[in-house]
Amino acid sequence: DTGIGNATDKVAKIQFACDAVLRSVLGRKAEGVLQETGTKHVVEIASPVGVVFGIIPVTNPVSTIVFKTLISLKSRNALVYSCHRDAIHVGNLVGELIRSALTRNGAPDGLVQWVANRTDRRKTAGFMRHPQVGIILATGGPSIVEAAYKSGKPAIGVGAGNAPVWICADADLAVAARGVVQSKSFDNGVICGSENNLVVDATV
């Protein structure tokens, strides 16, 4: 649908989002008192925010929808997500699959919703400022993440990554090279966590 990346690696990403993320939240407490530190008089309490607005990138649409759905539902929140315009079709398909699974399991109607038509910045900004949105989970380019931060709502953003990687003096060069090539080539390098450049100690 998006025309970027490759299908085999996207399947691996989706399986990770479905399985590893689910296993990471299963059995964990997500409401009420989570932790109490007597010596510092600090109590950590989890409570829902209501509606989560999720911004979905073109690079990883399905895996991002899956993990944002899982963490929103685990924390007892509803989710409305909006895909990048070039991932609308796959975003709609994933939404229908999620809706079907939720209906089969007796979840309330509309617990997970999505923007089914082509989006634009004005429509996205409207959702970000909507009075019933409690928090924004923004994944995308720097401009959309910055817009989420400036929306007046609590926001957690993941923007451009492609961090530099330091190859230190005592690095195992063969292992490092293998890791860099595997990371940068995975899904044709569209993952924001893949290496953008290397900073290599002069001694190696």
Catalytic sites, residue numbers = 192
Dmax of the chain from CA atoms?
62
Task: Give me 195's structure tokens.
Answer: 């290496």
Distance (Å, rounded) from C-alpha 142 to C-alpha 25? 28
Give the bridge partners for 55, in sequence order: 82, 138
Task: Give me 64's structure tokens.
Answer: 């991002």
